[in-house]
Amino acid sequence: MKQWIWILVAFLGFQGVAGAQQVYEDLSCRSNDPFVFCTQGCKSPDRHWKPVGSGSGWAPIPPYCPYPTVVSTKYCKGWSLTAYKAWFERQRICQVGGGKASDWTGRQRPETVPGNH
């Protein structure tokens, strides 16, 4: 009987570990480089918005819609699915980590290290 209790305790104890939320998340743009992603956004052809300041600030790039949407209207062009997903990733990820372009201390541009991305 005692053996069954310990098995039950172990089973229920590992439920919390298995249900823990994963911290790492793949990014849609920039080869999973969060610094370049948060400071420069996506590269063309998915550059429909650009980061402004640190955190979640951003600005649309004309002629694309001034809000995240994949649907075009007669006034603006819809975003690509990659740019749409990346915008929500930026809102979720970049305001936590912050980071400014002036924080880069390497000799080369950040988007060229270790390879062009």
Mean pLDDT in residue range 20-32: 75
- Rounded to a whole number of angstroms, the distance between the first and last alpha carbons of the chain is 59
Tell me: pLDDT of 16 over 60: no
Q: 111 or 27: which carries more pLDDT confidence?
A: 27
Long-range residue pairs from 14-17, CB within 8 A, at least 24 positions apart, any chain: none
Tell me: pLDDT of 30 over 90: no
Return the pLDDT at 35.
82
Task: Tell me the one-letter amino acid at 59.
Answer: A
Q: What is the DSSP string of 28-82?
A: SSGGG-HHHHHHH-PPTTS-SEEE-SSTT-EEE-TTB-SSS-S---SSSBPPPHH
Mean pLDDT in residue range 28-48: 86
Q: 48-106 pLDDT, tens per residue?
A: 998 887 667 889 999 999 999 999 999 999 999 999 999 998 888 887 665 555 566 66
Here the tokens at position 12 are 């229920």
Report whether 102 contacts 115 (CB < 8 A).
no
